[in-house]
């Protein structure tokens, strides 16, 4: 497995002259603004009118689209770029996930990519001059059977090969760090767990705002409330997009709308190996510090962490049926709670404050796609399943690399669109073409 | 979500599992010269519409029948339900 080249990835950015009244955030600035009534903070990004054309138009102003714009501008010097967003920045999946970051995958097509992403997270706040509250508190995957222990140890070895770290925790270590976990009396007793200390949580909407501000400061136009209604296709080549604010021409069109990928690509008559499903998330009322890290349950599908505000943030299975409604079904919500209580009985006393849903692109092997399409000028990034948030920095980094150089970045080279036809799938769970089971 | 079973009446979604798009009923012809491409499309590619969609559901916790459920993926509304064997028979008759 290839080592991730962190030094080149997280190294110095291309310096770019800032446009508009861009301000550098600092402790001194907070102090100064505090003394003057916080009246002169500038807007974080402009609200420009679309130009008639750009070098690159990114369709979708979510975390991945904005990260792509940031990396195009600051690493490749490409600033004649627009991000076209139907809604508003931070209103989609980037503001709906459970904020967890980790690099604990098994396969060579995935793990170096996610490890690059984790390294980019570790350097994110310095890179974009924005407090995203990156908190590396660790993740523990609980194991309940001998086979699961063997699989986790194998995965841990794969993580160590990629430089991600990881260790096996026995029951004593789990009981010491996480006394609230029911090790013995639940239906599936715990025999140990895979621990990655560098995993953690990030304030997700700050990621969207920080990347938007960074891209805007270099001259990228972020066009909110601008819906793409079609592609401009001339002689079999994609030459731009039709939008609710008129046509915008572009040398390259980069689709980045996970959750709605099929809807958008359908406008170019491209069928995808993707189904849209809803993933629910839940948060309880705030409680005192209770859970020091992220924990996942091995037998049922359940993951939980505690936010900095004190709420317990958790989720589980996706909806088995496909949907474009940004909400799930009560049956799944009940199932998630049942699994959570089996793992951590003390949760029964917590009151759920709210729950919500987001749309996820479930691909046919559970892994994402960052690739060209069969149509010249049209590029595709999607299929992130329920794991897109942690990938935000590397997804933008690798998509920008593809758009700027027309070659795939090494760590994303397996994430091709045609891998289902060739058989070179990246199937972490070995479940085949069953999008609702990945 | 409730599914109005054509034989058993309205049943809770918890009794069912879902396989996916109802087009999976119509398996491609393995003897056709472009069978490899047809099977790739059949296994991996999806229309994935936002709106009316026909899906195969299995009444696992009930009479173990396969159903074709027509549903609105934007609202979760179930529009109609038929036994999959009736749909498959109709498909064969229209193709014949």
pLDDT in tens, A148-167: 999 999 999 999 999 999 99
Contact A322 B1 (CB under 8 A): no
- Which residues of chain B lie closer than 8 angstroms to A271, CB-CB? 41, 45-47
C-alpha A306, offset from chain centre = 19
**CB-CB: which of A273, A325, A421 is closest to B76?**
A325
Chain A residues interacting with chain B (CB cutoff of 8 angstroms): 260, 262-263, 266, 271-276, 320-325, 329, 331, 364, 420-421, 433-436
Span of A82-86, A174-178, A181-185 with lowest mean pLDDT: A181-185
pLDDT digits (tens, 9 = 90+) for A290-317: 999 999 999 889 999 999 999 999 999 9
Residues of B in contact with A323 (CB under 8 A): 73, 76
pLDDT value of residue A4: 46
ipTM of the complex: 0.95
Backbone angles phi, psi at A106, to 5 degrees: -100, -50
CB A129 within 8 Å of CB A214: yes
Q: Given an 8 Å threshold on Cβ–Cβ distance, is A271 in contact with B40? A: no
DSSP state, residue A20: S
More confident residue, A1 or A195: A195
Q: Which of A213, A21, A224 is nearest to A124 (CA)?
A: A213
Cα angle at A123 between A409 and A253, to 5 degrees? 40
> For residue range B16-45, what is the model confidence (pLDDT) as tens digits?
999 999 999 999 999 999 999 999 999 999
> Cα separations (Å) of A211 from A20, A127, A343?
16, 10, 37
A213 versus B94: which is more confidently predicted? A213
Q: Percent of chain A scored above 70 by pLDDT?
A: 95
Q: Is B92 left (phi over 0), alpha (psi -120 to 50) or beta?
A: alpha
Give the mean model confidence (pLDDT) for residues A172-178.
97
Residue among A320, A329, A421 whose CB faces B17 most closely: A320
Collect all residues of chain B within an 8 Å Cβ-Cβ radius of residue A272. 45-46, 48
Average pLDDT, whole number, for chain A? 94
pLDDT tens-digit readout, A334-378: 999 999 999 999 999 999 999 999 999 999 999 999 999 999 999
Which chain B residues touch A276 with a CB distance below 8 Å?
Answer: 48, 50, 73
Q: A8 or A13: whose pLDDT is higher?
A: A13
State the pLDDT at residue A18: 55
pLDDT attached to residue A150: 97
Quote the pLDDT of residue A21.
Answer: 62
Cα end-to-end distance, chain B, whole Å: 36
Nearest to B76 by CA among A280, A326, A337, A93: A326
Contacts with A324 from chain B: Cβ below 8 Å: 50-51, 73-74
Instruction: Of A106, A2, A103, give the one whose Cα is nearest residue A429.
Output: A106
- Do A435 and A386 contact (CB within 8 A), yes or no? no
pLDDT exceeding 90 applies to what percent of chain A?
93
Q: What is the pLDDT of residue A10?
A: 56
Cα angle value B31/B84/B6 (rounded, 5°): 175
| CA-based nearest distance B66→chain A, Å | 15
- The per-residue pLDDT for range A417-432, each reduced to its tens digit, is 999 999 999 999 999 9
Contacts of B20 in chain A (CB under 8 A): 275, 322, 434-436
Closest among A87, A17, A89, A83 to A50, alpha carbons compared? A83
B interface test, pick of A269, A270, A322, A359 with most B CB neighbours within 10 Å: A322
Res. A246 pLDDT band, cuts 50 70 90:
very high
Question: Would you place residue A14 in the very low, low, confident or very high pLDDT band (cuts 50, 70, 90)?
Answer: low
CA distance A251 to A239: 6
pLDDT at residue A92 tops 90: yes
């Amino acid at each position: 497995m290839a080592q991730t080249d962190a030094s080149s990835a997280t190294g110095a950015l291309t310096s770019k002259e800032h446009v508009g009244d861009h301000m550098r955030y600092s402790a001194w600035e907070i102090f100064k603004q505090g003394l003057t009534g916080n009246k002169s903070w500038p807007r974080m990004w402009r609200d420009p009118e679309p130009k008639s054309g750009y070098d690159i138009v990114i369709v979708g102003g979510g975390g991945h689209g904005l990260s792509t714009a940031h990396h195009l501008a600051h690493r490749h010097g490409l600033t004649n770029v627009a991000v076209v967003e139907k809604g508003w920045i931070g209103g989609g999946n980037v503001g709906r996930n459970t904020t967890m970051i980790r690099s604990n995958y098994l396969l060579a097509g995935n793990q170096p990519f996610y490890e690059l992403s984790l390294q980019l997270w570790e350097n994110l706040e310095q890179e974009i001059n924005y407090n995203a509250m990156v908190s590396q508190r660790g993740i523990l995957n609980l194991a309940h059977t001998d086979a699961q222990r063997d699989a986790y140890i194998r995965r841990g070895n794969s993580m160590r090969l990629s430089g991600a770290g990881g260790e096996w925790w026995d029951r004593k270590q789990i009981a010491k760090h996480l006394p609230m976990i029911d090790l013995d009396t639940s239906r599936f007793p715990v025999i140990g767990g895979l621990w990655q200390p560098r995993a953690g949580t990030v304030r997700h909407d700050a990621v969207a705002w920080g990347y938007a501000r960074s891209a805007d400061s270099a001259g990228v136009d972020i066009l909110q409330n601008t819906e793409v209604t079609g592609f401009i296709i001339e002689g079999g080549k994609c030459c731009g997009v039709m939008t609710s604010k008129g046509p915008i021409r572009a040398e390259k069109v980069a689709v980045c709308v996970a959750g709605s990928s099929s809807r958008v690509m359908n406008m170019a008559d491209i069928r995808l190996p993707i189904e849209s499903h809803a993933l629910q998330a839940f948060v309880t009322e705030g409680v005192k510090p209770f859970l020091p890290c992220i924990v996942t349950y091995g037998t049922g599908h359940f993951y939980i962490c505690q936010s900095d505000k004190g709420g317990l943030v958790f989720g589980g299975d996706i909806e088995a049926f496909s949907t474009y409604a940004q909400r799930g079904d009560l049956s799944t919500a009940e199932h998630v709670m049942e699994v959570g209580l089996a793992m951590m009985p003390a949760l029964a006393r917590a009151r759920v404050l709210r729950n919500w849903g987001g749309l996820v692109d479930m691909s046919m092997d559970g892994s994402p796609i960052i690739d060209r399409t069969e149509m010249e000028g049209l590029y595709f990034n999607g299929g992130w399943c329920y794991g897109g948030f942690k990938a935000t920095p590397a997804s933008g980094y690798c998509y920008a690399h593809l758009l700027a150089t027309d070659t795939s970045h090494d760590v994303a080279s397996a994430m091709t669109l045609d891998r289902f036809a060739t058989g070179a799938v990246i199937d972490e769970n070995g479940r085949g073409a069953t999008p609702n089971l990945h | 979500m409730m599914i109005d079973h054509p034989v058993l009446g309205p049943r809770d979604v918890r009794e069912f599992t879902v396989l996916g798009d109802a087009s999976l009923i119509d398996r491609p012809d393995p003897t056709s010269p472009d069978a490899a491409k047809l099977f790739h499309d059949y296994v991996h590619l999806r229309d994935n519409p936002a709106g009316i969609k026909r899906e195969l559901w299995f009444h696992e916790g009930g009479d173990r029948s396969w159903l074709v459920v027509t549903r609105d993926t934007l609202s979760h509304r179930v529009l109609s339900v038929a036994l999959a064997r009736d749909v498959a028979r109709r498909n064969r008759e229209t193709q014949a």
